[in-house]
Amino acid sequence: MSGLAIHAKVLIFVAVDNISAAQFDERVVGESARRPVLVDFWATWCQPCTMLAPILEQLAGEYGDRLAMVKVDIDREPQLAARFAIRSVPTVILFAGGAAVTQFSGVLPADAVRHMLEPFLPRASDELVGKARAALGDGNAQQACALLRQALAEDPINYRIHPELGNALLQAGELDELETLLRGLPTNVAQEDAYRLLYARLAFARAAGDAPPLSDLERQVTEDSENLDARFALAARQVLAERYEPAMENLLRVIRQDRRYRDDGGRRAMVDVFALLNNEGPLVKKYRGLLAGAIN
């Protein structure tokens, strides 16, 4: 099947092949190690499939060699439909690095499909991001920030850069710049997990602020168990050090002593810790129960 894609105001013909089960591992799984491959599972009798096809073909034309696209007719290739548990068509699966990484069913507008694809497509700024990761791994947060600022200036709509820069800014102590970065995100992007976690970590960094070192805060709360400011700052420093259990113990003490402290700040901070722990695991289960008991 062929489609027309409009790219830089030039008509580009995009040939999109229907492939068989025998071709799938080479044309999709193998090829996806080199570049992402978009697979459109469709059927000749499916009206929504005919609506989605030109959208996908347009995007294939726009991305050129950065993205491959193939089609699978589920009536001709039922074994592939079964292999990938296709229950309705159209279903579109994106493969990258030899595996399926994301998918959707039904008809989506081009912008929504583009948003799904972007995190997996190679970009010119990837080299700078890689250098920044290496710098951060060597403990040079300021150098990492500089490289990521450059990457973002060159590729401002690449939202893969923002969480990388956010993490570097956090480690460099550039909290105002991090807050500006987060506030500038589109609403739909800001709701993604990576950015919600950055908001949480920023909140703890703000709470720690200019507080004394962790050892001094531990001494303060030992000497004065009613000092909620010191206890809350201690919990924040413990979170930033990934000492989650003692942090949650201190937040529970804050909640039990004064639920209104910092406008219910103890409870809200506890919820942020749960998020940092992916809302799962034995610690989350334990302290979610303790939190419920403390606020009831």
Q: Is residue 49 annotated as part of the catalytic site, yes or no?
A: yes
- The CA-atom distances, in angstroms, between 293 and each of 57, 271, 288 are 55, 14, 9
What CA–CA distance (Å, rounded) separates 236 from 213? Answer: 11
> Of the listed 46, 185, 194, 214, which one is catalytic?
46
> Of the listed 5, 37, 49, 236, which one is catalytic?
49
| H helix intervals, 192-279 | 193-208, 214-223, 228-240, 244-257, 265-276
Comparing CA positions, the residue from 45, 42, 36, 66 lying closest to residue 54 is 42
- Could you tell me the two tokens for 183? 């506030």
Q: Is residue 46 annotated as part of the catalytic site, yes or no?
A: yes
Confirm if 51 and 40 have CB atoms less than 8 A apart: no
Cβ partners under 8 Å of residue 33, min gap 6: 97, 98
Just list the catalytic residues.
Answer: 46, 49
